[in-house]
Structure 1
């Protein structure tokens, strides 16, 4: 029984109940249980021995590692808490300083100048152009989607910064061999807007060396600057809605061609509001954001179209365009408006900016609208004439230059071309900036002085070898261009054939000081020569100055100040601040003298050195001019409607080869004026034929002679140019 009960220990559940009297046999039964109960206690001690056995080096290293990890964790979360608090504090400070969204849409330091032609159509922009406020809702979806696809596809889902974008940009920069922060920035639109706001630092002229220095500071790419930019972006995300941030961006971003904001870019390049741009146009504007100057379509349309094609591809990939819409946009790329194609008015607009009041043009802080005298039809005529002559009659590769000015008799400039390249902005303007010797084109002022003092066009002067002593210089013996002399001739013939000796004699007879006074009265304000060579045009002047002086002859003898501005007002105002600047001034010579001079100058075109300038059906008057060694060649003339001047030469003063004012300049003048007078009804010149002129012509005709021999007239007709000159070859160096 005892052995049996030892194999079967009592139930432990009995311990849950109070102790009860037991029999002696029962009391002896738990003894085996005590033995079995001791075994588990011994088994529990075994693991303790095993843990002690794993001590030593391994246990020590494990303990060190555990302690280090716990330390790192404690430091990390504490540091993270400090950083988070600092970030929150920084964001909070920036948040409190942010103004209302409406105060941030226009951040230009300078104002803009919008120029209108004589009909009121916009043709040019200068300064920092801002077309007006647009919003994320008002712009064309084509433009909005193009910007999102190009600049920040996750704009509406991130919190102001994009870690994924930053990591991707760093990876690309390293792969392309640049520094991690050089090149691609991974900036979101919010971060770009923060940079456009210069992180809240406003431009104050007194605190910066220049606006360029301020803008350079705003574009810094240092790690510290990036951190501040991120804080600013986070604050903006808290302050403004996504659409408000996009609105600020759409209005402040520079988009090339002087245009700030989407509205200015749409008007500048396509002549339409930002709400109406097509997919191709929106893609072109969005494509400018990466490099607005080099990608501007006014600088390189093909490059801009290629960039737009990339943007269209992104829009298709991201679902903004269907395959059909994307293909249509690629097949019909954006084209520039007519005004943009004209390169924003070129030389004429630059001249208006340089001559207008500085505080309303070059340094304006307001948005200004200027009404000008420009006639777009006449501007096109001058540009086409220039292009035609240089393509058809000038040797390929020639570096010769030319300039054209067309104006009305009151000095209102209607067209201006300052060089062979007609579609430029900010280039050297040879019509207004180049001071060149005028040559024989100055001679009309010599004869104007004579007529004003009582001479007649039919009075005579002896053309003969002539010398005079100049104090301090010795003897001076001028010669005619033909190296011939023609005896006693009329003043009319002397001007018609551009003879030098008679011009000097007349100038000395009436007094060169009086000649200088008359020339200055007509508007030639350059430093005029003091010696007798004054009559030969050795003084320098500009083309616009000379053309304005000839306009004074056409209008009856009154001075002229060439002008291009007719009205200036601030954008949004109705009343102009400035009216016409320039026009007809004081009388210089009598009307009768001016009309007789016009008759003499008409002979130059109809039967003299300027015959290549003759216009079918129109009376024209003018004068050729060629300086010493043919460094400058001129033709200036007029009809009853318009005055035009042409200069030709090299920028480095190299002599022209085989060119005189009677040659290519006269032909450029002819081509210009033929186009200018297209569709107009011919009207006669306001000229006065001197008494006895008809009788003199009849006598000359009956004698077979005339003011010029028949042989000379035939040679001049065959050879062209001034008497005795060689045929006009192509220009070459």
Structure 2
């Protein structure tokens, strides 16, 4: 105690004298005070450093500002530099946007794009008759330097006068075309250059969309940068559709005039050059007066473009070209385009690319399908505000017998049957219902039709009302929207959307399905070919439909390189027999008591499903009998709405018209699982309208040509095989002889 007191007094005395107190090394408060002092110093250093750095930055900024004041502009120069600066900003953003838009276009040029058409294919129908050609043998096409000067001038004067001056897009020509179109209040001139048209023919489709036009522009620049002008012109002349099922000017010259392209006269050159605009409308073997009038316009273009004088063309005006009488030859061009894609897929590994391909198309059914589509559009297209249609007819077994990809191939080569993506609407519901049948439900199972919510989505019924408890078969027949949604959400189990997507793929839908809760009612786009393929599963009892358009591929020696029956695997089961039976029982009620009463085929059990999309943009009917399956679509290329057209109207009537023809004089096959051959139709005016148009006018009956019975066909097939084994002719003659006899067989056997 004494020592502690004296130490304290000493410290106080030292403090009073201005001296530091003597710190006891044993004092426990000494170290915390030292740490606090250190932290205060660190904090002080950080504060001062930051302040000094900020002060220095301010000085630097002031120096920079003073420096750039020397370059400050005023008045007009200030406005110029402001605009230039903003232009650079906008230009940079635009460059990034253009790059993003260009990448998808340039992806189209991957691979050996010039060899994409190195096949030369002769197509035969199912009976062995020649129906058309596709592909180009580039070695046989005439170089531009060997073409007649007047022919090249006629093409350039009509299609692209500034071809050798622009870089892919002719902005002056585009402005001129827009001016003329505004003056005429319609489209009278096109602004696309030859390079743009070649880009479309090589890499794109004819679908009229903004995306396609953007890609076309970028690809035109790409072609100009990578291919010479002469090569662009040659490729364009080799690939353009020229009517009559011909592609390329060399084939057209042979078809229309029977001569080589290097020998055509001025009058003939003008007629050929006039075909590029609308080959179907101006094809001389179809409408010679229109072709000659169009050729006269081409001659005027030559004079107006200062490429030839009036004196040089006067002889061609007075003596217009004559053509070889080919008759009214119609080729199934949409089908041939799709079949050519199939040939390239199948025969890609083959060493030989000059091929003879026997297809599955039936000329009679093809004509009936085209007539049904055209009749529907002529009689009711204006009333429903529908301008386009597509149809695919598949014989149960997988053979594609007819394909209509649009109203007029000459006007648009875009195949709406195999390439157009359209929302299927309620026709897509079969995938959800078939899954429900697989999960143990039956057509008589009941479920509640009431408001349902799936996230932020609230589906509504077409009638905007609800029925309460309803059985599954009635829900499908009446196309109630809430039921497939409720089935997917409550009955399918884990990941219902994934299950529906997988089911569609198993059924043969090749288009990628979008993962979205709305797909149970058909919001994910598919093709007409997809829907026909998928519905063809039901009349097979649940087996794959094995859709195909190629029966055989042969070389010119007669060797069979590919045979569908030999080389393709057998059909796999994609739907159980029980589920398939239940689906057939439900779908065969739709044309009799449901939404498709105009589709019921007279005397033939019919099943199917209608589909109508939002704002009446698309109308579908996909149906089947024991013999055939068909998918029918009506709508507009520009996605505009129709006049309340539903799948039960024009599509159903077109389906019936085709099926009435297809089932004449053939053996009817049953639909698996349906005992009652023909359900009793529900009384009402729509039943009587099954053979009339929308205005109540009777549709004329289309008679199908007679065909052999099965016994006669079997005898002919056996005789043909014996003759082929014993025939000592060469390969080509043997192939022709085989076609002349054995090709009679499929008239009946495959039906």
| In the alignment, structure 1 residue 420 sits paired with structure 2 residue 414 | no
Give the whole-Å Cα distance in 2 for the aligned partners of 1:255 and 1:684: 42
Residue aligning to 1:357: 344
Residue aligning to 1:442: 428
Q: Deviations over 1:667-724 (max 9, x none)?
A: 11112222222x323625323248xx99xx9xxx9xxxxxx9x8xx64876999xxxx
Q: How does 1:22-33 map to 2 (within 5 A)?
A: none
Give the whole-Å Cα distance in 2 for the aligned partners of 1:537 and 1:630: 14
3-state SS in 2 of match to 1:586? coil
Retained in 2: the 8 A contact 1:410–1:584? no
Deviation at residue 489 of structure 1 after TM alignment: 2.4
Deviation at residue 663 of structure 1 after TM alignment: 1.0
Question: Per the alignment, do residues 393 and 399 of structure 1 end up closer, same or farther by CA in structure 2, a change over 3 Å counting?
Answer: closer
Residue aligning to 1:400: 387
Retained in 1: the 8 A contact 2:384–2:643? no
Residue 346 of structure 1: which of 325, 333, 342 is its match?
A: 333
| In the alignment, structure 1 residue 300 sits paired with structure 2 residue 280 | no
Q: Deviations over 1:349-387 (max 9, x none)?
A: 111122332695899984322211111111100110011
Deviation at residue 534 of structure 1 after TM alignment: 2.3
Residue aligning to 1:552: 537
Residue 491 of structure 1: which of 434, 458, 472 is its match?
A: 472
Deviation at residue 604 of structure 1 after TM alignment: 0.4
Query: Which of structures 1 and 2 has the bigger CA Rg?
Result: 1
Give the whole-Å Cα distance in 2 for the aligned partners of 1:687 and 1:110: 45
Give the whole-Å Cα distance in 1 for the aligned partners of 2:234 and 2:342: 33
3-state SS in 1 of match to 2:591? helix
Question: Per the alignment, do residues 347 and 689 of structure 1 end up closer, same or farther by CA in structure 2, a change over 3 Å counting?
Answer: closer
| In the alignment, structure 1 residue 258 sits paired with structure 2 residue 247 | yes
Residue 578 of structure 1: which of 548, 556, 562 is its match?
A: 562
Deviation at residue 593 of structure 1 after TM alignment: 2.2
Retained in 2: the 8 A contact 1:658–1:728? no
Give the whole-Å Cα distance in 2 for the aligned partners of 1:537 and 1:124: 37
Residue aligning to 1:604: 590
| In the alignment, structure 1 residue 510 sits paired with structure 2 residue 492 | yes
Retained in 2: the 8 A contact 1:284–1:334? no
Retained in 1: the 8 A contact 2:386–2:634? no
Give the whole-Å Cα distance in 1 for the aligned partners of 2:242 and 2:487: 61
Deviation at residue 210 of structure 1 after TM alignment: 7.2
Give the whole-Å Cα distance in 1 for the aligned partners of 2:352 and 2:426: 46
Q: How does 1:170-319 map to 2 (within 5 A)?
A: 213-215=229-231, 257-258=246-247, 268=255, 288=268, 292-294=272-274, 299-301=282-284, 302=288
Give the whole-Å Cα distance in 1 for the aligned partners of 2:269 and 2:652: 47
- TM-score, normalising length: structure 1: 0.54
Question: Per the alignment, do residues 463 and 630 of structure 1 end up closer, same or farther by CA in structure 2, a change over 3 Å counting?
Answer: farther
Residue 673 of structure 2: which of 688, 691, 698 is its match?
A: 688
Q: Deviations over 1:2-28 (max 9, x none)?
A: xxxxxxxxxxxxxxxxxxxxxxxxxxx
Residue aligning to 1:117: 125
Residue aligning to 2:449: 464
Question: Per the alignment, do residues 334 and 600 of structure 1 end up closer, same or farther by CA in structure 2, a change over 3 Å counting?
Answer: same
Residue 613 of structure 1: which of 599, 605, 610 is its match?
A: 599
Deviation at residue 614 of structure 1 after TM alignment: 0.9
Residue aligning to 1:34: none
Q: How does 1:708-719 map to 2 (within 5 A)?
A: 714=684
Question: Per the alignment, do residues 682 and 480 of structure 1 end up closer, same or farther by CA in structure 2, a change over 3 Å counting?
Answer: farther
Q: How does 1:626-705 map to 2 (within 5 A)?
A: 626-677=612-663, 679-681=664-666, 683-689=668-674
Retained in 2: the 8 A contact 1:346–1:424? no
Retained in 2: the 8 A contact 1:130–1:260? no
Retained in 1: the 8 A contact 2:427–2:609? yes
Question: Per the alignment, do residues 601 and 123 of structure 1 end up closer, same or farther by CA in structure 2, a change over 3 Å counting?
Answer: same
Residue aligning to 1:187: none
Deviation at residue 334 of structure 1 after TM alignment: 3.6
3-state SS in 2 of match to 1:436? coil
Deviation at residue 638 of structure 1 after TM alignment: 0.8
Retained in 1: the 8 A contact 2:377–2:387? no
Retained in 1: the 8 A contact 2:617–2:642? yes
Which ranges of structure 1 fall in alignment gaps of 5 or more residues? 1-108, 134-146, 152-168, 170-177, 179-207, 220-253, 276-282, 310-328, 702-707, 721-726
Give the whole-Å Cα distance in 1 for the aligned partners of 2:518 and 2:425: 10
Retained in 1: the 8 A contact 2:452–2:482? no
Give the whole-Å Cα distance in 1 for the aligned partners of 2:139 and 2:266: 17
Residue aligning to 1:542: 527
Retained in 1: the 8 A contact 2:621–2:652? yes
Q: How does 1:5-84 map to 2 (within 5 A)?
A: none
Residue aligning to 1:378: 365
Moved more, 655-664 or 109-118: 109-118
Residue aligning to 2:24: none
Give the whole-Å Cα distance in 2 for the aligned partners of 1:489 and 1:621: 21
Question: Per the alignment, do residues 519 and 338 of structure 1 end up closer, same or farther by CA in structure 2, a change over 3 Å counting?
Answer: same
Give the whole-Å Cα distance in 2 for the aligned partners of 1:382 and 1:218: 36
- TM-score, normalising length: structure 2: 0.53
Question: Per the alignment, do residues 422 and 642 of structure 1 end up closer, same or farther by CA in structure 2, a change over 3 Å counting?
Answer: farther
Q: Deviations over 1:457-508 (max 9, x none)?
A: 2x2323332223x4xx44x432221223223322111111111122222223
Deviation at residue 660 of structure 1 after TM alignment: 0.8
Question: Per the alignment, do residues 616 and 716 of structure 1 end up closer, same or farther by CA in structure 2, a change over 3 Å counting?
Answer: closer
Give the whole-Å Cα distance in 1 for the aligned partners of 2:575 and 2:407: 36
Give the whole-Å Cα distance in 2 for the aligned partners of 1:360 and 1:593: 37
Residue 355 of structure 2: which of 345, 368, 383 is its match?
A: 368
Residue 438 of structure 2: which of 443, 452, 475 is its match?
A: 452
3-state SS in 2 of match to 1:587? coil
Give the whole-Å Cα distance in 2 for the aligned partners of 1:496 and 1:637: 13
Residue aligning to 2:505: 520
> Superposition RMSD on alpha carbons, in Å?
4.9
